[in-house]
A and B are shown apart, each in its own frame.
Chain A
């Protein structure tokens, strides 16, 4: 104890109560912005939601109305592409780390994954620009998907590893004792057991990718029209929110809030669903 032996008990109690109170105060300070943000998004967003918001294209500057149908589908396509890039690589890398990765190489991969998760998303955008956009000579949905995929990769890798580690060794031993080769035991027994948990990690990674804006600015760029081709620029919800929020038009602001509501709702649903999966597993 650092406190001198003669320190009165009452004073120590007071310090204790004050310190606890400060911690609670800090928590309140942290949560107030979140609550404010959520209430504003709901309050402002509901007004902008309409049938046309989901079904129509953006109107030209100055005309009111129109919607974000292209941005909604664009976001879905981009996130799909990101999954196609990030998930197979991440899951297989995670399997390696969990099953064989207790060596120098495994540590290096783990370390790089952690570092990669701290790299700013905008620099990933610059990287993909120099890699894909410059060689294709135009902005493309493909480049956007790759950028988002790279951002997903560390999360997917580390979650997969952690959850495969949780699978009890007895399951592996049982499979091996039946004469199943190791790779099949890993894929059919271990991976399958860990799958619900991995799905959770994937949901969180998807939620993060769906909201990313910075790496899309100069990879997928933006598009005012329908486009499903992967070699053309593609609209997305976050980029559209950015464009509309910094514009001077009231109608665009209204739509930005509506889009924000849709995006927050999607992220929230994915997060809650992930929680429920984890909760369901631990409760059993």
Chain B
């Protein structure tokens, strides 16, 4: 960084003192705005805890273990939503992790130069399409396709497994998981690429000089070095999947049931907030929904902290 002008010595002229003042104001002014980010995060935590205080007091731990969600009798238990969120995100990771690792390896290690620009643009575009458009596509394209061409054959072949039982509606856990997979794929692959870029190229050259094939180079030199960062990338993807709202709400079927079948409709934490928040009439109802929001907030913040630390570590090591 340049020599800072606000460190003008005490023997400076009158003009320099004025300069000093302007610089000081500028520095503290911008610092105040920078602090805004921290304040917003803190305010979110406080505000949402306050909003869910009533429900926290009323239900305690029972909130996350009860399956009853009955606004008429003012009973709220979030287990079906927590289950739906966890399982749909897990399905999403199952699909998205291999795909996005493949994409990241292709783009950072294997692809020829001319392919790089257009290919990474396509992947970035995947991240740029708004959630609600994925939902629209899910409702009118993905779910009919699942209902007619994917789920019946799956049932015929693997119908003895609990995951593929029941009537194939299209709408349900499978559609939710798939659409989430598509949406978190760019997150995982772009962070993974970033981490792989931090791997020193001398390592690659060493592997190649020892006679490794391209794939052996990736497996023995790049992946071990980037491992913790890749775990970070996957956790970031998980965080995104847990909180994703619109597309999932539109295809998952929105029924608060716990079923092992991927064909069955389900409900997620984010979806129940989206669907019921504006209609929540009672104070306790609103408080219970806020508590789901608080849970979601706490979990995603935690995941993000862990993931960022992992990714930062790889980059710090690489920078040294």
Q: Decide if B300 touches A118 in the complex (CB within 8 Å).
A: yes
Partner of B243, one of A95, A123, A211, A271: A123
* Residue of A with least CB distance to B240: A118
Given the known A-B contacts A183-B26, A217-B278, are A121 and B119 also in contact in the complex, defined by CB atoms under 8 Å?
no
B161 contacts across to A, CB distance below 8 A = none
Partner of A113, one of B30, B37, B98, B296: B37
Given the known A-B contacts A115-B304, A127-B44, A271-B128, are A122 and B243 also in contact in the complex, defined by CB atoms under 8 Å?
yes
Tell me which residues from 183 to 197 in chain A have a Cβ below 8 Å from any Cβ of chain B. Answer: 183-186
Q: Decide if A212 touches B130 in the complex (CB within 8 Å).
A: yes
Q: Decide if A119 touches B44 in the complex (CB within 8 Å).
A: yes
Specify which of A112, A116, A118 lies most central, judged by the most chain B CB atoms within 10 Å of its CB: A118
Given the known A-B contacts A2-B220, A214-B131, A267-B128, are A123 and B34 also in contact in the complex, defined by CB atoms under 8 Å?
no
Given the known A-B contacts A131-B47, A181-B5, A260-B133, are A93 and B30 also in contact in the complex, defined by CB atoms under 8 Å?
yes
A121 contacts across to B, CB distance below 8 A = 243, 245
Chain B window 115-141, contacts with chain A (Cβ cutoff 8 Å), 1 for yes, 0 for no:
000010111111011111111110111
Given the known A-B contacts A99-B1, A150-B40, are A118 and B304 also in contact in the complex, defined by CB atoms under 8 Å?
yes
A29 contacts across to B, CB distance below 8 A = 99
How far, in Å, is A255 (CB) from chain B's closest CB?
11
Q: Decide if B215 touches A263 in the complex (CB within 8 Å).
A: no
Q: Is B150 an interface residue (CB 8 A)?
A: no
A92 contacts across to B, CB distance below 8 A = 29-30, 33-34
Q: Is B301 an interface residue (CB 8 A)?
A: yes
Chain B window 135-162, contacts with chain A (Cβ cutoff 8 Å), 1 for yes, 0 for no:
1110111000000000000000000000
Partner of B37, one of A124, A157, A204: A157
Q: Decide if B140 touches A119 in the complex (CB within 8 Å).
A: no
How far, in Å, is A164 (CB) from chain B's closest CB?
11
Q: Is A213 an interface residue (CB 8 A)?
A: yes
Q: Decide if B137 touches A122 in the complex (CB within 8 Å).
A: no
Partner of B236, one of A118, A204, A208, A267: A118
Q: Decide if A109 touches B48 in the complex (CB within 8 Å).
A: no
Q: Decide if A22 touches B50 in the complex (CB within 8 Å).
A: no
Bound: A120/B277 CA distance, A: 16
Q: Decide if B141 touches A13 in the complex (CB within 8 Å).
A: no
* Residue of B with least CB distance to A241: B132
How far, in Å, is A114 (CB) from chain B's closest CB?
5
Bound: A39/B133 CA distance, A: 13
How far, in Å, is B53 (CB) from chain A's closest CB?
11
Given the known A-B contacts A37-B134, A120-B300, A123-B293, are A108 and B129 also in contact in the complex, defined by CB atoms under 8 Å?
no
Bound: A115/B277 CA distance, A: 25
* Residue of B with least CB distance to A35: B122
How far, in Å, is A49 (CB) from chain B's closest CB?
15
B289 contacts across to A, CB distance below 8 A = 126
| Number of A-B contacts defined by CB within 8 Å | 289
Q: Decide if B102 touches A217 in the complex (CB within 8 Å).
A: no
A61 contacts across to B, CB distance below 8 A = none
How far, in Å, is B270 (CB) from chain A's closest CB?
5
How many A residues, CB 8 Å from partner? 99
* Residue of A with least CB distance to B308: A114
Partner of B293, one of A122, A173, A184, A268: A122
* Residue of A with least CB distance to B275: A217
Q: Is A41 an interface residue (CB 8 A)?
A: yes
Q: At the interface with chain A, which of B60-68, B75-83, B206-214?
A: B206-214
Given the known A-B contacts A22-B102, A40-B140, A245-B135, are A126 and B290 also in contact in the complex, defined by CB atoms under 8 Å?
yes
Given the known A-B contacts A30-B103, A173-B2, are A106 and B124 also in contact in the complex, defined by CB atoms under 8 Å?
no
B2 contacts across to A, CB distance below 8 A = 169, 172-173, 176
Q: Is B195 an interface residue (CB 8 A)?
A: no
B307 contacts across to A, CB distance below 8 A = 118
Partner of B136, one of A36, A115, A123, A241: A241
Q: Is A96 an interface residue (CB 8 A)?
A: yes
Bound: A219/B273 CA distance, A: 13
Q: Is A89 an interface residue (CB 8 A)?
A: yes
Given the known A-B contacts A1-B210, A102-B1, are A23 and B273 also in contact in the complex, defined by CB atoms under 8 Å?
no
How far, in Å, is B212 (CB) from chain A's closest CB?
6
How far, in Å, is A16 (CB) from chain B's closest CB?
4
How far, in Å, is B45 (CB) from chain A's closest CB?
9
Q: Is A59 an interface residue (CB 8 A)?
A: no
Bound: A172/B273 CA distance, A: 49
Q: Is B93 an interface residue (CB 8 A)?
A: no
How far, in Å, is A214 (CB) from chain B's closest CB?
4
Bound: A89/B100 CA distance, A: 34
Bound: A121/B185 CA distance, A: 18
Q: Is B23 an interface residue (CB 8 A)?
A: yes
Bound: A25/B103 CA distance, A: 9
Sample of 6 more A-B contacts, CB < 8 Å, known A15-B213, A213-B132: A1-B207, A23-B106, A92-B33, A120-B243, A127-B47, A275-B121
